[in-house]
Amino acid sequence: MTKHQEETVRAGDLDVGIIDSGDGVPLVLVHGGESDRTQFATLRARLGAGIRAISYDQRDSGITVNPPNPYTLAVLADDLVALLDAMGLQRAHLLGTSFGGAVAQHVALRHPARVASLVLVATTPSFAMGSEAIDELLNMSHEDRQKSAPGYFFTPEGQAEQRARPTRTLTRRDPEQSARRHDVARQHEVRDSLGEITAPTLIVHGTEDRLAPYDGAVLMERRMPNAELRSIEGGRHGIAVEFADTVAHWVREFLGVNGHG
């Protein structure tokens, strides 16, 4: 039987909620700004054999317990490394979606020796590049965000599929938690540092992503020395869900995991 554990791990000063499944190459799944460790259920189911997929709750997310203090992207990057330490992993591959991709970029800049490779899905090198659409979404109530999110995340075909087989895309937070998360998101700016991210990197991006515009993916590929961009024509922000089969296939190929998943 394939391993699938849901537990809390003491990592640094935090009690961190994780889902640890599969065996093989360690791949840490870094969730988006409005999500938690459960975000990757669709993608995880398609990653297949030979990959140990570990998703975790960042601060103010899911079941992770953290102090009610402001923090930065550097702190979130250090949190991820503390989790690697707690799990006995010297190095791991990181797959980050949206805000999680920002966290992964900061890990690669602050702790390059701990990063075996990066997979950056529907993310950006700068909050400013999609700030108008992001602010539009973040300034809504949780209920209005839930109603509006499908249009940002999925193609019309994908939205129809979601209505037939809905998945939760947003997690609920109290106002203080949301404010801290949103403040951190607005700090993200690494365009001038992309050349320092030397880890092998796969960039996966939808061409119609309003929250993380496609221009950011092109810029990352151009400035990062070991990056490759694979595009999903017409894809929006939720490509890791709507196009999970394609993304999982590309990830397996990138990680060099052979055989069928």
Residue 120 CB contacts under 8 Å (≥ 6 apart), including other chains: 96, 101, 104, 105, 201, 202, 203, 204, 217, 220
* Segment among 8-22, 230-244, 247-261 with least mean pLDDT: 247-261
For position 238, what pLDDT does the model report?
A: 93
Rounded CA separation 167/12 (Å): 32
Q: Is the pLDDT of residue 87 over 70?
A: yes
Q: Is the pLDDT of residue 67 over 80?
A: yes
For position 164, what pLDDT does the model report?
A: 60
For position 169, what pLDDT does the model report?
A: 56
φ, ψ of residue 138 in degrees (nearest 5): -70, -25
The percentage of the chain sitting over the pLDDT mark of 70, rounded to a whole number, equals: 95
For position 34, what pLDDT does the model report?
A: 86
Residue 42 CB contacts under 8 Å (≥ 6 apart), including other chains: 167, 240, 241, 244
Q: Is the pLDDT of residue 1 over 60?
A: no
For position 168, what pLDDT does the model report?
A: 57
* Segment among 62-76, 159-173, 205-219 with least mean pLDDT: 159-173
Q: Is the pLDDT of residue 187 over 80?
A: yes
The strands making up 92-97's β-sheet, listed across from edge to edge, are 4-11, 14-21, 50-56, 24-30, 92-97, 115-121, 201-206, 227-232
For position 261, what pLDDT does the model report?
A: 42
Nearest residue to 229 (alpha-carbon basis) of 204, 211, 194: 204
pLDDT tens digits, one per residue of 90-145: 999 999 999 999 999 999 999 999 999 999 999 999 999 977 888 787 777 778 87
Q: Is the pLDDT of residue 218 over 70?
A: yes
- The length of the chain, given as a count of residues: 261
Rounded CA separation 213/196 (Å): 22
For the chain, domains (ranges, CATH) are 4-255 (3.40.50.1820)
For position 133, what pLDDT does the model report?
A: 82
